[in-house]
Structure 1
Amino acid sequence: MSPRKKRRITMIVLGLSLLVAASGLIIVGIGQGGQFFRLPSEIAENPPGARTIRLGGLVKDWTRGATHEFTVTDTQTDIRVQFTGIVPDLFEEGADTIVTGHMEDGVFIATEVLAKHDEEYRPKELTDAFEDRGIELTN
């Protein structure tokens, strides 16, 4: 086999290998990030185990302290949340929130808390998720 033909075959094999690797990364990325967050009802129907997820909904029953305790609800299901740290200034009862963390003994242990940034804005993802489940929200 000529050196030119060997080089061409090597380049084709290398190109196909890169294509397979890139496709695998895309598939894994879609599987992990296909949904920005899950509603409490979705978590109740399909518990995530100990893996890290995002939980989205409305804040209620907030107890302030070194460890903040509050409930995230989608008006159908409530999930109790604990968070140690500083919550955003706009975090309050009735506000939209998305928290990152994991379930532990029936309580969501949050490592990050996000809150909506003004009274007029509700993230499209949150609105869509509520609408998909037939839940009507008022601002």
Structure 2
Amino acid sequence: MNPVRRRRLLWVIALVVAAGLATALVAMALQRNIAYLYTPSEVLRGEAGEHARFRLGGMVAADSFKRAPGSLEATFRVTDGDAQMPVRYTGILPDLFREKQAVVATGRMEGDVFVAEQILAKHDETYMPKEVADKMGMAHKKHDVQAPAAGTAQEAP
């Protein structure tokens, strides 16, 4: 092999290795920042993984919200109609957070409790992400509950 071909071959190999390394770094960065949405039933079936960061979506169960006086730590249960998952959150909750309303919490499992880092709450069924709407629609069908009509706002209490 003459020196010119050897040099070109080394450059091609170096370029392929650099491209592979860049691709691997981008894939790792995206994997760390991704958070899938699961319902309490899916989490209890083990679909969310042990220590993975994910989003838990559902409704805040009635009579489940508790907060100690003078504390920012709140506990409540999220339900999808089939199962309930206890949630612990330390911080200021959104103004729209209340029982019997939809919530999406981002965090991790610690034992049997979901520890939330962020809470998103909504006041009606007018808008929600497609993946949440699909899962809530399946729960409505499964439990034979009439889903709210799309595009109609419900009155806040």
Q: Distance in 2 between matches of 1:119 and 1:41?
A: 21
RMSD: 2.7
Judge which range, 36-45 or 23-32, deviates more.
Answer: 23-32
Match among 87, 91, 94 for residue 93 of structure 2: 87
Aligned amino acid, residue 54 of structure 2: I
Structure 1 spans left out of the alignment, 5+ residues: none
What's the counterpart of residue 139 of structure 2?
A: 135
SS at match of 2:139: coil
Matches within 5 A, 1:1-139: 1-2=2-3, 4-25=4-25, 28=28, 29=30, 33=34, 36-46=36-46, 48-60=49-61, 61-65=64-68, 66=71, 67-116=73-122, 119-131=125-137, 134-136=138-140, 138-139=147-148
Q: Deviations over 1:11-43 (max 9, x none)?
A: 31122113323443465445973x631111111
**Identity fraction in percent:** 33
8 Å CA contact 1:96–1:122 kept in 2: the answer is no
8 Å CA contact 2:41–2:80 kept in 1: the answer is yes
Aligned in 2, Cα 1:128/1:22: closer, same or farther, shift over 3 Å? farther
TM-score of the two chains, using structure 1 as the length reference? 0.77
SS at match of 1:80: strand
8 Å CA contact 2:52–2:108 kept in 1: the answer is yes
Aligned in 2, Cα 1:43/1:9: closer, same or farther, shift over 3 Å? same
Aligned in 2, Cα 1:117/1:14: closer, same or farther, shift over 3 Å? farther
Aligned in 2, Cα 1:22/1:129: closer, same or farther, shift over 3 Å? farther
Q: Distance in 1 between matches of 2:123 and 2:26?
A: 31
